[in-house]
Amino acid sequence: MNLFSKTAAELLELLKNRDISAREIVTSVFNRIESVDSKVNAFAQTDKESALKQADAIDKKRSAGEPLGMLAGIPVALKDNLCRTGYRTSCGSKILSSYKAVYNATVVQKLITADAVFIGNANMDEFAMGSSCERSIYGATHNPWNISCAPGGSSGGSAAAVAADETILALGSDTGGSIRQPASFCGIVGLKPTYGLVSRFGLIAYASSLDQIGPLTKDVYDSALLLENISGYDPSDSTSIKQNPFSYTSTLKESIKGLRIGIPQEYFIGGLDSEVASHIQSAIKLLAECGAEIIDISLPHTEYAVATYYIIATAEASSNLARFDGVRYGYRTEESSDLHDMYFKTRSEGFGDEVKRRILLGTYVLSSGYYDAYYKKAQQVRTLICRDFENAFQKVDCIITPTAPSPAFKISEKIDDPLTMYLSDIFTISVNLAGLPGISIPCGFSSSRLPIGMQIIGKPLGEQTILRCAYTFERNTPFRTMKPTLE
Amino acid sequence: MEFEPVIGLEVHVQLNTQSKLFCSCPTNFGAVPNTHVCPVCLGHPGVLPVLNKQAMENAIKCGLALNCSISLFSKFDRKNYFYPDLPKGYQVSQFDKPLCHKGHVTIVDTGVEKIIGVTRVHLEEDAGKLVHAAHGADSGVDFNRGGIPLLEIVSEPDIRTPDEAYLYLTALKAIVEYLGISDCNMEEGSLRCDANVSIRPKGQKQFGTKTEIKNMNSFRGVQKAISYEIERQKDVILSGEKIVQETRLWNDDKGSTFSMRSKEDAHDYRYFPEPDLVPMVVEQKYIDTLRENLPELPFPRMHRFIEQYGLPEYDADILTGDKAFADYYEQCASVCSEYKMISNWMLSDLIREAGARKISFADAPVTPKMLAEMISLISNGTISGKIAKIVFIEMFDSGKTPSKIIEEKGLVQISNPEELQKVISNVVAQHPAVVAEFKAGKEKSIGFLVGQIMKETKGKANPQLVNTLLREALG
């Protein structure tokens, strides 16, 4: 078996026993990238030379008997919106195409401490705005299960890289489903942590009150392992939760007997794909057989989630993206007659259509005379959505829904229809609005052999519970071992 | 028609915290451009703000000193607009939930106390500064100032005259200086002021249309700009036109204001809560502790000076208007009980001599101890008030103590009657004509004789004694 196809846990075991070296892992992963990435296009950039150097340094440390970090020698791909000193961090956008980060994101610093090996930046929808990973200056990423399909987005590059075995671990960011939906489309595990569990410092913001960094991995154990290494209080992020580090891997194997799982009726109506519906139903049945108690619940304000999200997220984005003005860094238009003209041309030329659409929308909803009707109202609805979950969690320990309404759609199928595209996140958005943890794990395949994902939503800081539930499910199903054929 | 001006002031005070409001960059003035910067205050992608707790504490102290209510819950908002000196494309400020609100400042206008309401005090970050090349079209931005904590202090439209505006600013500056939270230097930009000015026919309740005046760089400038604007508005109304709501810039050289932008061009700042910061939540206990530890403030101190030292309000007001000045006074008063004399010397000689040498009184070589000693020497008759003037200037120039100066220069007052009588006899003998005039009833003539005696004694003669002895000698 090739090293690239293994999980982090498996590789760590091999490394520990000195059966393999970090250099061998990195070499294996880059061989894989070289052989399949022309089809997948998962990366915005890779740096083999640097990765090998990092690997050699770790191998040296190991042979010298020096203490090693928890992820020593394990390749990890960063989403292209996470800052790493000296490396281009462009958010898939022309406006940052030449920008090199001048500091390390907190998660990057933590991964350096853990001795992980950075192999490159994964492709993404420009500024994390999109559900298909098609809107990037680096071109569209393809779904490893069917290269005519989208990998989902916006962390489509991270998800596709993991699914295609082009990396062992990957980080993504999730504002409305951008980790979970691509994980679902690519048949891997994607976790969006509780808002504030992972520091956002160094994550190029899309919507500050919703953004959260999280792991995309081949299985649940790796997800817990990576979360352990990136979470924790960060004084540089005022919204970070003061919480002691927790070993999520240590409680995975505990039984889910008596675990109360809520099934919200609002998620099983209307536009839900029938194959998705039936796989979720089977999954629920399986969990019941494992000892979980299944309880019907209601989240009555679900239908307002998408509208609420597109007001709050775009409002914040319109402000967050104002700093890309051509004055201090990044792209600046070639010629301009005055300051206003420079701003106008730089931003017109530097941003793609979807980004412009959301900036316009966000500017509009914050404008004087519209603020109360849109932004303020949306914040009120957000409170109601939070309350829905609070009420539900009085009765249950976690909630199960489909991750996405359908399996992966075709590339360019929805690109000209933003509203339909926005509905791809219909099941994931509420979780961001309420700041809750959510995980997507594979629960089956469609008749056309595309993965289907199941979402498990937890209470605030309920990562331990949803990981345990996901782990139990994973160990009782064969999906973890299934790989796309790319050759 | 008689008009009444209605004036409100918006003052920005830079807090003198060690570091900026949301990052750890230093705040001191005058550094090489763009050396006090980091990814956070330059608005690099992905950075996040962290509140400087000291800035919040200073803001609360200021609110308390201005008699404000302090909000137990307040939050930051983003004020969105594009400008090259604003790195993030928004300023982190406070919109609908300021840290402090509903306070007041008391001013003393020619002996009459007046209360000026303070609408709100809020915390925000400063912007950078555009620097334009002397030649050519290039402009640069210095971000050293960007992110320095600012307090915005907004007054109620309670001010009615340019003088009141001046007094309000002076009172505000004194309070802030007493708290030690800002350098309050208008030239370095650590204190800035905009004025909202409107006029209305006397007796009318409703406000007239206001204009906002910017770009004043001294308190006198604010006073002048408001005076100009009031007259301009009167002219506009009297010529039958309407005031346009607009922002006007004061030109100090020309002594006039000119239109910058009208209300139609005004920004829509699209304020919304800053999602990168958690709300500021403070406990009443914390506020109470800060209140208990506030220093004595200028206004209460003025009243204490009146009561404790028996000073006129005028003296007490000026002395307490500057904390260091008032401290100087109290150091003198602790060792010398000629309270009014101390005040006189400080308000005239000390200010004048320091001014003549273009130094602050605080840098003067005359210490409070020296001044007190000199005044004691006057009151115990060692030197005359006239000699004291010489001693004072000598102290200022040499830094020597008054007793040393008196000793060195032989300036001790002559109070020995025998010594004086000799001089008096000589003078009387030398000026028979003048003596005759006096005896004939020309009372004024005695002044000439006293003058001659003083001349003979180089001013050291005890004036009261000279007067008595001379009259005796003249029979």
- How is residue B338 written in tokens? 């000629």
Provide the token pair at B443. 């009372």
Per DSSP bridges, beta strands A438-445 and A189-192 are antiparallel
Task: Tell me how far the alpha carbon of residue A40 is from its chain's centroid.
Answer: 18
Residues A274-299: tens digit of each pLDDT: 999 999 999 999 999 999 999 999 99
The pLDDT score that the predictor gives to residue A86 is: 97
Whether ipTM exceeds 0.90: yes
Neighbours of B137 (CB within 10 A): 7
Tell whether the model's pLDDT for residue A423 goes beyond 80. yes
Q: How many CB atoms are closer than 10 A to CB A291?
A: 12
Structure confidence at residue A61 as a pLDDT band (50, 70, 90):
very high
Distance CA B111, CA B87 (A): 48
Q: Report the mean per-residue pLDDT for chain B.
A: 92
Catalytic site positions of A = 79, 154, 178
Residue B67 has a pLDDT of 97
More confident residue, A120 or B365: A120
- Listed residue (A227, A157, A167) closest to A199, CA to CA: A227
CB-CB under 8 Å, A329 with B44:
yes
Of B48, B88, B275, nearest to A322 by CB-CB distance is B88
- Residue B142: closest C-alpha in chain A: A328
Determine if residue A102 is left, alpha or beta; phi over 0 gives left, psi from -120 to 50 gives alpha, anything else beta: alpha
Residue A460 distance to chain B (closest CA, Å): 17
Please check whether residue A97 touches B, CB under 8 A: no
B49 interface with A at CB cutoff 8 Å: yes
Q: Determine the Cα angle at A120 with ends A138 and A403, to 5°.
A: 75
Quickly tell me which residue has 């250099």 as its tokens.
A23
Q: CA-CA distance, B195 to B155, in Å (whole number)?
A: 10
**Residue B406: per-residue pLDDT:** 85
Report the pLDDT value the prediction gives residue A38, as an integer from 0 to 100. Answer: 97
Strand partners, A170: A77, A216
Q: Does position B264 have pLDDT exceeding 70, yes or no?
A: no
| Of the candidate ranges A16-30, B30-44, B325-339, B421-435, the one whose mean pLDDT is the lowest | B421-435
Average pLDDT, chain A: 96
d(CA B107, CA B280): 31
B125 vs B455: CA distance, rounded Å:
66
When CB atoms are compared, the residue of A89, A239, A315 closest to B276 is A239
- Per-residue model confidence (pLDDT) at position A48: 98
Indicate the residue of A238, A329, A339 with minimum beta-carbon distance to B49. A238
Q: Closest Cα partner for B267 from B224, B212, B227, B331?
A: B212
Chain centroid offset of residue B130 CA: 28
Per-residue pLDDT tens digits for B230-245: 999 999 999 999 999 9
pLDDT at A245 over 90: no
Place of tokens 């090349």: B133
Name the token pair of A400. Answer: 């199960």
Give the closest-approach CA distance of B38 to chain A in angstroms.
10
SS (H, E, C) chain B: CCEEEEEEEEEEEECCCCECCCCCCECCCCCCCCCCCCCCCCCCCCCCCCCCHHHHHHHHHHHHHCCCEECCEECCEEEECCCCCCCCCEEEECCCCCCEEEEEEEEEECCEEEEEEEEEEEEEECCCEEEECCCCCCEEEECCCCCCEEEEEEECCCECCHHHHHHHHHHHHHHHHHHCCCCCCCCCCCEEEEEEEEEEECCCCCCCCCEEEEEECCHHHHHHHHHHHHHHHHHHHHCCCCCCCEEEEEECCCCEEEEEEEHHHCCCCCCEECCCCCCEECCHHHHHHHHHCCCCCHHHHHHHHHHHHCCCHHHHHHHHCCHHHHHHHHHHHCCCCCHHHHHHHHHHHHHHHHHHCCCCHHHCCCCHHHHHHHHHHHHCCCCCHHHHHHHHHHHHHHCCCHHHHHHHHCCCCECCHHHHHHHHHHHHHHCHHHHHHHHCCCCCHHHHHHHHHHHHCCCCECHHHHHHHHHHHCC
Domains observed in chain B: 3-289 (no CATH), 296-409 (no CATH), 417-473 (1.10.10.410)
CA distance A413 to A419: 12
Q: Which of B441, B473, B437, B470 is closest to B453 using CA atoms?
A: B470
Q: What is the pLDDT of residue B263?
A: 67
pTM of the model: 0.91
- Per-residue model confidence as pLDDT tens digits over A324-340: 999 999 999 999 999 99
Residues of B with CB below 8 A from A81's CB?
Answer: 46
- What confidence tier does B35 reach under pLDDT thresholds 50, 70, 90? very high
The reply to whether B46 touches chain A by the CB within 8 Å rule is yes
Kindly tell me the burial class for residue B437, based on how many C-beta atoms sit within 10 Å of its own C-beta (0-12, 13-18, 19 or more).
middle
Quick one: pLDDT at residue A257? Answer: 96
What pLDDT does residue B375 have? 95
Query: Which tokens belong to A459?
Result: 């209470």
Nearest to A367 among B51, B84, B268 (CB): B268
What is the structure's pLDDT at A382? Answer: 98
- From the list B146, B46, B149, the residue with the least C-alpha distance to B94 is B149
Cα atoms in the Cβ-side hemisphere of radius 13 Å centred on A386: 13
Question: How far, CA to CA in Å, does B7 sit from each of A2, A180, B10, B166, B223?
Answer: 79, 57, 10, 11, 11
Q: Each residue of B126-155: pLDDT tens digit?
A: 999 999 887 777 889 999 999 999 999 999
Q: Output the pLDDT for position B421.
A: 86
Question: Which pLDDT score, from 0 to 100, does residue B423 have?
Answer: 87
**pLDDT tens, residue by residue, B157-185:** 999 999 999 999 999 999 999 999 998 88
Q: Test B270 with A368 for CB contact under 8 angstroms.
A: yes
Query: Is B48 close to A236, i.e. CB distance below 8 A?
Result: yes
| Alpha carbons A185 and A134: distance in angstroms, whole number | 14
Confidence of residue A1 (pLDDT cuts 50, 70, 90): low
Interchain CB contact of A269 with B (< 8 Å): no
A363-387: pLDDT as tens digits? 999 999 999 999 999 999 999 999 9
Q: Are A103 and A83 in contact (CB under 8 A)?
A: yes
Token pair of B410 as six digits: 């032989």
Q: pLDDT category, B52, cuts 50, 70, 90?
A: very high
Tell me how far apart the alpha carbons of residues A224 and B173 are, in angstroms, rounded to a whole number.
57
Output the pLDDT for position B383. Answer: 85
A315 contact B CB<8A: yes
Domains in chain A: ranges and CATH? 3-252+466-472 (3.90.1300.10)
